[in-house]
Structures are given as C-alpha cells and as structure tokens.
C-alpha cells in the first residue's frame, strides 16, 4: 500500500515590498499583498493589470506584483563628486488608459530578472542621470539659478517617466559626505578597471571541457547576449510607437527625417527578430568562444544605443521647435550605433588562418 503526501507549496516571500522591494514575480497560486498591483504578461510579452488576489496563470503567462510607493533614493549625479547627491521621491504610475502598455510594465518585464530591489533601481536611475549630465542633455551647474533648477527638474522628471515609467514627486539636493565610504568607492573603481582590462580573458576558455559541458565563460557570454537581444526585441517596437506619437514641428525636412528614423528602427527590429544563434558559426559547426565574446560585445553596443534612444525620446517630448534638427542629428548617431552593433553581431564567421611563410 502506497501512501501519498501532498506537500503545500511554499508561498513567495513578499517581505519588504513597498520599502526595500519594488516588484517581484509571483508563482501560480500565490496571493498578492493587498496594497500592491498585479500585472499579467502573456507569452508574447503583452501586459494587463488585474485585480489583486490569488494568482491564476494560464499557459505561458507570468505574474508580477509591485507596490506603487512612494520610495526615496539618494542619487549621485556626478561620479567625481560622491559627497553631493540628489534625494528623489517617486511613485510608480497608475495605469494610463491612453496607452496599450504601461512603460513601467515594459521595464519590469524586459529589464528585471523577476525581482526589482529599490537599490537596483536606484543604481540604474543613477547611471541614466550621470549619462545625461555627461552628454550635456541635462544641465546641473554648481551655482544653479531657480530657472535652471526648474529646467533640470523638468528634464529629470521626463527622463524618469519615459525611461522607467515612474513619476518624481520631489527632488532636493543633499549632502552625502558623512555617508560616503571613499575607500569602498576607490576599491570598486579599481575592480571595474580590472574587469574592463580582463574582458579578453573571458574568451580564453574552450567551448567544452573534458566532460563535454559548456564552460562557465561561454555560458556567461550566452546569457549576456540573450538578455540584450531580448531587450531589443521587446523594446524597439515600443520605442518606435512612442516616437510615432510625437507632435512634429512644421516643415518637410523634419517630417522626412522623422519618417526615416522610424523606418531605420523598424529595420533594426526586423534584424533582431532574425538574429542567428550565438553559439553556431554554421549548422553543426560551433563558434569559438572568442568569437562569441566579440559578437556579444556588439549586442551590448546595440543595447547601449537603445538606452540612449529612450533618453533621447524624453528630450524630444519636451523639445522646442528649434531644437528638433540637433536632436534628430543625435537620433541619426544613435541609430548608426544600433545598426552597426546589430550588423556586426550577425556577421559571417571567417576562420582565422596563420600566414604561410
């Protein structure tokens, strides 16, 4: 006689939601917290927000829950001055009925690995802010006037809304001098420099080890490449849709350049959709790890261009008519980087041969 025992599935830990945790993935049968919002994604990545309750996923569906906040984070706008920061208070937007997919939902599905910690979001927002300041897209001078501060706040608010789908409630300068551990910062920078110098070493392991299993280096390269291509696949159509909705200034040249930009993004999306496998040079011919690393690096170039494109969209949404030509020049540069990265990612493998003596 057999005795069967039914084990109760352990519920997903939602501790910290609304404090140190913004969102997390739920399993079928889990119960979302009462103050949170549930988002269901189907197999194609389309999202819908549903009432909070017990999770019931159909085939291919994925469930997330998030707390709208408010949340408070300290960002360092200039890496060279870590003692000076900005304290941001933000909330996750409620559903906008005028759009088919909420921007935060897309960020949640595309860029998070099932769990969005507040510290991770703060790090991403800080990198985006530093990049905009470094490129001159935002201006935050030391002795800032009230008008300059309002202009900076408008750009920052639009950047956070367009890039992440969150609304900034408040932003004030803060002195972080007592909280900064300069030794840790220097150690982290040294480690980053060492990692940047050892990128080539990732490509040194063989494709397989003695047991015919993929090496750790090859697995990391493949995962990195797959995550970047997934982002491009999911976000390029959404980015094109937002660009298509912009109100253009009068003028045939602006209209033509805008149409050309949409066409190039559409072709880039088609390029991503038909991207060949990373691990194979040809059917039955594995690609060496060194070449996989080179191809994956090109995918990261395209992903970096995608991040720049979201930031540019935020600037276009606030741009005056006279600013459009310069911003479209920036769009051409970003599109060229995107196209170049994708083109080199799918380049034909040519075996290296030693020159004959």
Task: Kindly state the percentage of the chain with pLDDT values over 70.
Answer: 83
Can you say how many angstroms the Cα of residue 79 is from the centroid of all Cα atoms in its chain? 20
54 pLDDT band (50/70/90 cuts)? confident
Residue that wins the pLDDT comparison between 1 and 231: 231
Residue that wins the pLDDT comparison between 174 and 98: 174
The whole-number average pLDDT for the span 121-132 is: 93
Q: Which stretch of 36-40, 96-100, 182-186, 202-206 has the lowest confidence by average pLDDT?
A: 202-206
The whole-number average pLDDT for the span 284-313 is: 90
Predicted pLDDT of residue 6: 47
* Cβ 236 vs Cβ 303: under 8 Å: no
Of 202, 238, 229, residue with least CA distance to 338? 229
* pLDDT tens by residue, 67-78: 988 999 999 998
List, in order, residues 6 or more apart from 274 with CB less than 8 Å away: none
Q: What's the chain's average pLDDT? A: 83
* Cβ 308 vs Cβ 272: under 8 Å: no
Separation in Å, CA 258 to CA 197, 231, 240: 39, 23, 11
The CATH number for 216-346, chosen from 1.10.3470, 1.20.120, 3.40.50, 1.10.10, is 1.20.120
* Domain parsing of the chain, residue ranges: 21-66, 71-175, 216-346
| Torsion sign over Cα 75, 78, 79, 83 | negative
* pLDDT tens by residue, 147-156: 999 999 999 9
The whole-number average pLDDT for the span 29-46 is: 83
* pLDDT tens by residue, 197-224: 554 444 444 444 434 455 555 558 888 9
- For the stretch 3-24, what's the b/e string if a residue is b when 16 or more beta carbons lie within 10 angstroms of its beta carbon? eeeeeeeeebebeebbeebbbb
* pLDDT tens by residue, 316-354: 999 998 999 999 999 999 999 999 999 999 887 777 666
* Cβ 205 vs Cβ 286: under 8 Å: no
For residue 84, list its beta bridge partners.
175
The whole-number average pLDDT for the span 116-128 is: 93
């Amino acid at each position: 006689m057999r005795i069967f025992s039914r084990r109760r599935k352990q519920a997903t830990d939602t501790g910290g939601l609304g404090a140190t945790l913004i969102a997390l993935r739920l399993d079928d049968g889990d119960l979302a917290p009462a103050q949170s919002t549930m988002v269901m994604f189907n197999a194609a990545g389309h999202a819908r927000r549903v009432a909070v309750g017990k999770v019931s996923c159909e085939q291919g569906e994925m469930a997330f829950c998030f707390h709208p906040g408010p949340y408070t984070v300290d960002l360092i706008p200039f890496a060279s001055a870590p003692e000076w920061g900005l304290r941001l208070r933000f909330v996750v937007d409620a559903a906008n009925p005028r759009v088919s997919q909420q921007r935060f939902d897309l960020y949640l599905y595309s860029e998070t690995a099932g769990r969005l910690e507040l510290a991770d979001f703060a790090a991403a927002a800080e990198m985006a802010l530093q990049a905009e300041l470094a490129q001159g897209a935002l201006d935050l001078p030391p002795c800032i006037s009230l008008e300059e501060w309002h202009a900076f706040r408008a750009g920052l608010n639009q950047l956070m809304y367009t890039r992440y789908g969150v609304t900034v409630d408040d932003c004030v300068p803060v002195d972080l001098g007592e909280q900064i551990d300069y030794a840790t910062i220097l150690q982290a920078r040294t480690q980053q420099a060492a990692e940047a110098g050892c990128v080539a070493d990732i490509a040194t392991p063989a494709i397989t080890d003695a047991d015919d299993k993929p090496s750790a280096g090859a697995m990391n390269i493949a995962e990195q490449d797959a995550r970047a291509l997934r982002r491009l696949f999911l976000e390029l159509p959404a980015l094109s849709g937002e660009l298509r909705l912009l109100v253009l200034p009068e003028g045939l040249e602006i209209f033509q350049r805008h149409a050309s930009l949409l066409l190039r993004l559409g072709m880039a999306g088609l390029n991503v959709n038909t991207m060949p496998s990373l691990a194979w040079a040809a059917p039955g011919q594995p690609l060496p790890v060194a070449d996989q690393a080179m191809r994956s690096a090109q995918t990261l170039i395209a992903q970096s261009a995608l991040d720049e494109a979201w930031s540019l969209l935020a600037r276009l949404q606030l741009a005056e008519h006279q600013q459009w030509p310069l911003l479209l020049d920036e769009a051409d540069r970003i599109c060229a980087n995107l196209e170049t990265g994708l083109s080199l990612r799918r380049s034909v493998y040519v075996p290296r041969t030693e020159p004959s003596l």
